[in-house]
Amino acid sequence: MKLRDWPCEERPRERLLRHGAATLSDAELLAIFLGSGSRGHDAVAQARGVLAEHGPLRALLDRPAQALLDLPGLGPASACRLHAALELGNRHLAGALERGEALTDPARAGEYFARRLRGLPHEVFACLFLDTRHRALAFEELFRGTIDGAEVHPREVVRRCLAHNAAAVIIGHNHPSGVSEPSAADRAVTARLREALALVDVRLLDHFVVGDGAPCSMAARGWL
């Protein structure tokens, strides 16, 4: 049975238009990108099969576009559409930080770090530079490491803050293991950075550790 033979009110596209994308399951959202299923399977059944064998959804979408080509039902067109959609989401979130609005919701910054760093196979340390009104100036990946660590140099962070004339900064790094709990080393480097930045009158607002689930905010933990 093909999707066009489903009752109109049950088809994923029609439900999305009537009730919004949030009402669709992972398989239904993926089916919209697949467009059609394989012999004997509609697009939703095909999507369920892909997720059952290669999911969950985030694990599937963390794959490079080229790797998606090896999965059943995901040809070049579907793989490109999926990664284009992910990049659109990243740019939409970045646009909210880049259009001159003051950053008043810390969770939005945490989500931005998660979008940029989650799923990377190695540890990356990044900075979001802000002006005196906490408007975004720039986002930079400053240090790259291995699967379990990245060496952070406070002097370089200070130098980049001065280059951007930043008044405040939010930092973040990912844990490829998926565990977002900050280590003792994470807390130690945060303290060193806060002290170094204070010498040039730059406030360290938060340090996010990105893993599976919501990123961990050190400011929320009371460690800043």
* Domains in the chain: ranges and CATH: 3-90 (1.10.150), 103-217 (3.40.140.10)
Reading the block at residue 60, the tokens are 């599937």
Helices 43-54 and 26-34: crossing angle in degrees, nearest 10, is 120
Q: Does the global pTM surpass 0.85?
A: no
Reading the block at residue 44, the tokens are 């939703």
Helix (H), strand (E) at residue 98: helix 76-98
Reading the block at residue 20, the tokens are 């919004």
Q: What is the pLDDT of residue 83?
A: 81
- How many other CB atoms are found less than 10 A from the CB of residue 15? 16
Q: What is the pLDDT of residue 97?
A: 64
Instruction: Answer whether 162's CB lies under 8 Å from 199's CB.
Output: no
Task: Write the pLDDT tens digit of every residue in 65-85.
Answer: 888 877 777 778 888 888 888
Q: What is the pLDDT of residue 1?
A: 52
Q: How far, in Å, CA of 169 to CA of 19, rounded?
A: 39
- Give percent of the chain above pLDDT 90: 34
Q: What is the pLDDT of residue 187?
A: 94
Which residue ranges of the chain lie beneath pLDDT 70?
Answer: 1-5, 36-40, 93-101, 147-149
Distances (CA, A) of 213 to 115, 138, 183: 11, 25, 17
Phi/psi of residue 140, nearest 5 degrees: -135, 140
